[in-house]
C-alpha cells in the first residue's frame, strides 16, 4: 500500500493539462489553466490560458484559447484572443480569429482569417482578408 | 489528550518490544503520553476511534504502518481530531512522504506538532489519501459532469494522484495521469512512453466489463467508480522532510 512507482517522474504543475499521444478526448473540453495537446480531440476545446498543440495532435474541434501555439492539425475554427503562432508543420482547416498572428513558412491555412484589434476589444476588429482566404505559405 | 492506537502485528511480534518500550519512555519524557488502545482481530478500529473521540481525544496516533492508517482515515477525516503516526516495521511509505521517521524518532515529530490539513480523495464514498491505480486501463473517464470523455487508444495505465512524490495534497485537486505506450509514426518506429495529465475535482471511471483498481493499495472491483475530492479534511502531523509544501 502507498508504494511509489519508480517510473512516475513527470511533475504535475498546478492546473496544467496534458493530452498526450495514446489518448483521445471526446466532447466539450474546458480548462482553466494551460493545455498541451499531442493526442486526439473531437468536439471543442476551451483553454483559459495558453494552448499548445503538438505536431502529432489531431484536433477535430473548434478551439478557443488566450494564446495558442500550433504545430499539429486542426479541423475546425480556431480563436486565440491574444496571440496565435502557427509553426511550419501546422495545418488548419477552419476559420481563424486572433489579435496577433505569426505564421512560419510551410504552415497550411484553409479558411478565413479575422484579425481582432486588441486595443478595440475582442471581436471588434477589422476583417483582414476576403471571406474565402486560402493561404499556403512556404 | 492523546490516544495511541497499536496495530496487532506490533503486539504479536517480539522484535518490536524494545522499540515500543523506547517509544513509550520517550513519549512520557516529552509529556505527550496518553491512553493506549490495541487493535485485535475482531475489534473494529473505526468504532474504537469513535469511542475515543466521544471521550474527548484530540489526537489519535497510529502506531503501525500504512495499513493501520487506512483503517482510521474514514473516521478521522469526518472529525476535527488530528492524526499522528509512529511508523514501525515495513510498509510505511505514507509516513515517509509525510516526513515522519521510523520508530522512536517519530516521537519528536509528534511533539513538535506541525499540523497540515490535506485533501482526501473519495471513491464510491470511500476515502483515500495517496491515490488510485489501474495497471491495465481500458475503461473511459467521464469528466466535468459528462461533458467530455477520455479514452486510451493504446496500452495504458491510469493513476489518480493526491499525495505522491509529484502532486500536492493541499491544492484541492486530484490529478489523473495516463501513461501510454505508443508507436512512433514512421517506418521501424520505436515505442514511446507518453504521459497525459488531467487535473480534476470529480470524475467517473466507467467500463462495460468489471475491472479492478487499487485505492491506497486496497483492491476494488466494479464497472463504475465515482471519484471526488474533499479539500483539507484530514488534519495530520507532518515532519520537516515531508514531500510537499503546505
- A53 or A138, which is more confident: A53
Q: What is the pLDDT of residues B86-97, one digit of tens each?
A: 999 888 999 999
User: How many residues does the structure list for chain A?
Assistant: 138
Give the nearest partner residue to A22 out of B97, B156, B216, using CB atoms.
B156
| Contact call for A15 and B154, based on CB within 8 A | no
How many whole angstroms separate alpha carbon B214 and alpha carbon B40? 25
Tell me the average pLDDT of chain B: 92
How many whole angstroms separate alpha carbon A94 and alpha carbon A99? 17
Backbone angles phi, psi at A57, to 5 degrees: -75, 145
What's the pLDDT band for B78 if we cut at 50, 70, 90?
confident
Strands (E), A58-133: 58-70, 73-75, 78-86, 91-93, 96-98, 101-103, 108-110, 113-115
Closest C-alpha to B88, from B165, B13, B170, B181: B13
| Contact call for B180 and A43, based on CB within 8 A | no
Q: Which chain A residues have a beta carbon less than 8 Å from that of B144?
A: 28-30
Query: What residues pair up with B192 in beta bridges, in sequence order?
Result: B182
A118: left (phi over 0), alpha (psi -120 to 50) or beta: alpha
Q: What is the pLDDT of residues B30-70, one digit of tens each?
A: 999 999 999 887 778 888 899 989 999 999 999 999 999 99
Give the nearest partner residue to A1 out of B67, B97, B180, using CB atoms.
B67
Q: Would you say residue B245 has pLDDT above 90?
A: no
**DSSP designation for B164:** B
> Which set of grid coordinates corresponds to residue B244?
510537499
Most A CBs within 10 Å: which of B153, B154, B193, B199, as the mutation test of the A interface? B199
How many whole angstroms separate alpha carbon B100 and alpha carbon B163? 15
Give the nearest partner residue to B194 out of A15, A22, A33, using CB atoms.
A22
Query: How far, CA to CA in Å, does A110 sit from each of A97, A137, B155, B164, B235?
Result: 13, 11, 35, 45, 56
How many whole angstroms separate alpha carbon B137 and alpha carbon B150? 11
Amino acid at each position: 500500500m502507498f508504494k511509489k512507482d519508480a517510473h512516475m517522474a513527470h511533475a504535475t504543475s498546478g492546473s496544467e493539462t496534458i493530452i498526450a499521444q495514446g489518448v483521445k478526448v471526446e466532447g466539450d473540453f474546458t480548462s482553466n489553466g494551460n493545455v498541451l495537446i499531442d493526442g486526439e480531440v473531437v468536439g471543442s476545446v476551451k483553454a483559459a490560458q495558453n494552448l499548445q498543440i503538438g505536431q502529432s495532435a489531431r484536433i477535430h474541434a473548434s478551439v478557443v484559447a488566450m494564446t495558442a501555439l500550433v504545430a499539429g492539425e486542426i479541423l475546425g475554427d480556431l480563436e486565440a484572443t491574444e496571440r496565435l503562432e502557427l509553426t511550419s508543420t501546422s495545418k488548419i482547416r477552419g476559420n481563424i480569429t486572433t489579435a496577433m498572428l505569426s505564421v512560419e513558412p510551410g504552415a497550411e491555412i484553409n479558411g478565413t482569417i479575422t484579425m481582432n484589434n486588441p486595443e478595440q476589444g475582442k471581436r471588434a476588429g477589422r476583417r483582414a482578408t476576403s471571406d474565402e482566404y486560402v493561404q499556403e505559405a512556404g | 489528550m492523546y490516544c495511541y492506537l497499536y496495530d496487532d502485528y506490533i503486539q504479536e511480534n517480539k522484535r518490536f518490544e524494545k522499540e515500543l518500550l523506547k517509544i513509550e519512555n520517550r513519549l512520557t519524557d516529552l509529556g505527550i503520553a496518553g491512553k493506549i488502545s490495541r487493535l485485535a482481530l475482531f475489534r473494529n478500529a473505526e468504532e474504537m476511534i469513535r469511542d475515543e473521540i466521544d471521550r474527548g481525544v484530540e489526537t489519535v496516533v497510529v502506531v503501525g504502518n500504512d495499513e493501520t492508517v487506512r483503517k482510521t482515515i474514514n473516521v478521522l477525516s469526518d472529525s476535527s481530531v488530528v492524526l499522528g503516526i509512529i511508523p514501525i516495521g515495513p510498509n510505511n511509505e505514507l509516513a515517509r512522504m509525510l516526513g515522519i521517521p521510523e520508530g522512536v524518532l517519530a516521537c519528536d515529530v509528534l511533539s513538535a506538532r506541525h499540523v497540515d490539513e490535506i485533501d482526501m480523495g473519495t471513491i464510491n464514498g470511500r476515502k483515500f489519501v495517496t491515490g488510485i491505480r489501474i495497471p491495465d486501463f481500458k475503461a473511459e473517464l467521464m469528466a466535468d459532469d459528462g461533458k467530455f470523455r477520455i479514452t486510451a487508444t493504446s496500452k495504458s495505465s491510469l493513476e489518480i494522484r493526491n499525495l505522491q512524490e509529484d502532486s500536492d495534497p493541499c491544492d484541492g485537486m486530484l490529478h489523473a495521469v495516463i501513461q501510454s505506450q505508443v508507436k512512433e509514426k514512421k517506418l521501424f518506429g520505436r515505442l514511446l512512453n507518453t504521459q497525459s495529465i488531467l487535473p480534476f475535482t470529480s470524475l467517473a471511471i466507467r467500463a462495460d466489463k468489471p475491472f479492478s483498481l487499487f485505492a491506497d493499495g486496497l483492491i476494488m472491483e466494479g464497472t463504475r467508480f465515482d471519484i471526488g475530492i474533499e479539500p483539507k479534511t484530514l488534519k495530520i502531523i507532518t515532519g520537516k522532510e515531508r514531500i510537499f509544501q503546505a
